[in-house]
Amino acid sequence: MLLANLDLPKNSFEQYQDELNLITSDLSAASREAETLSDRITVLSETLYKQHRFQGDVETYDDPQNANLMRVIDRRKGLPVALGILAIHAGRTQGWEIAGLNFPGHFLLRLSKLGEDVLIDPFNEARLVVNEDLQKIFWRIHNQNMPEQSDFVQSVSDRDILVRLQNNIKIRALREGDKERAIKILQSIVLITPTSVEFLAELAMLEASSGHIKSAVERLERFIERNPDISNASSILSLKEQLNRSLN
């Protein structure tokens, strides 16, 4: 929510925190007798999607508002990863074991209890997802079969989920030609993942292409000073030298 507030600084953080508290309170009341995973899926779906009216935004999927949690709460619709974050937050306040997955192109969740796992789709009212569904989703997005051996259903960290959310906002900003906003979002991603060579390089290149070459070089120099032993540092050194030459 703090990242959403950075993008919408005039919005009241407390107002949205109250909204989250109401969702978790309602889920708590509904889940008192939800002992099985099936029960938990049912009460999550009824609370988040029916009672609080959240839904996946099918009609305007690429709307940038779908990736900002404050706007998702305002509009009651969003991307899979944004709705997934709400579901994770609500579930964990009940003591549930719930995590995001590394599935590409469509964010999914794993709900676990006592060694039993189920997958659910936060974009489609927490619908149960089985292996056949995974294959269909993967084919729809990538137009090919899902590899048999992959890490696509492995759990990811909360940090990875936030990066995925912010990356969605960045992609949409670039599609709209809004480089300054994309730079701002990339800056937040670099704060979340300070040792990420990939995002740092993307940020520096975008800053340079927007005329902020000196700022980009200084950013790269600070990174090298703080992370002298990091792997892939050679690519950052090479990029810094390339940008330095363009300054001369």
pLDDT for residue 248 = 64
pTM (2 d.p.):
0.89
Phi/psi of residue 98, each to 5°? -140, 135
Question: 214 is written with which tokens?
Answer: 């000196």
- pLDDT by 10s per residue, the chain, length 248: 888 888 888 999 999 999 999 999 999 999 998 989 999 999 999 999 999 999 999 999 999 999 999 999 999 999 999 999 999 999 999 999 999 999 999 999 999 999 999 999 999 999 999 999 999 999 998 898 888 767 888 999 999 999 999 999 999 999 999 999 999 999 999 999 988 888 988 998 898 888 888 888 888 888 877 877 766 667 777 887 888 787 66
Q: Which CATH code is given to the segment(s) 179-247?
A: 1.25.40
- Decide if domain 2-142 falls under CATH 3.30.1480: no
Domain boundaries, the chain: 2-142, 179-247
Query: Which residues, other chains included, contact 248 with Cβ-Cβ below 8 Å and sequence gap of 6+?
Result: none
Is it true that 2-142 and 179-247 share their CATH fold? no
Residue 72's Cα: distance from chain center in Å? 13
- Listed residue (133, 137, 109) closest to 37, CA to CA: 109
DSSP string, the chain: -HHHHHHSTTS-HHHHHHHHHHHHHHHHHHTTT--SHHHHHHHHIIIIIIIS--EE--TTTT-GGGG-HHHHHHHTEE-HHHHHHHHHHHHHTTT-EEEEB--SSS--EEEEETTEEEEEEGGGTTEEE-HHHHHHHHHHHHSSPPPSS-STTSB--HHHHHHHHHHHHHHHHHHTT-HHHHHHHHHHHHHHSTT-HHHHHHHHHHHHHTT-HHHHHHHHHHHHHH-TT-TTHHHHHHHHHHHHHHH-
Residue with tokens 């960045």: 170
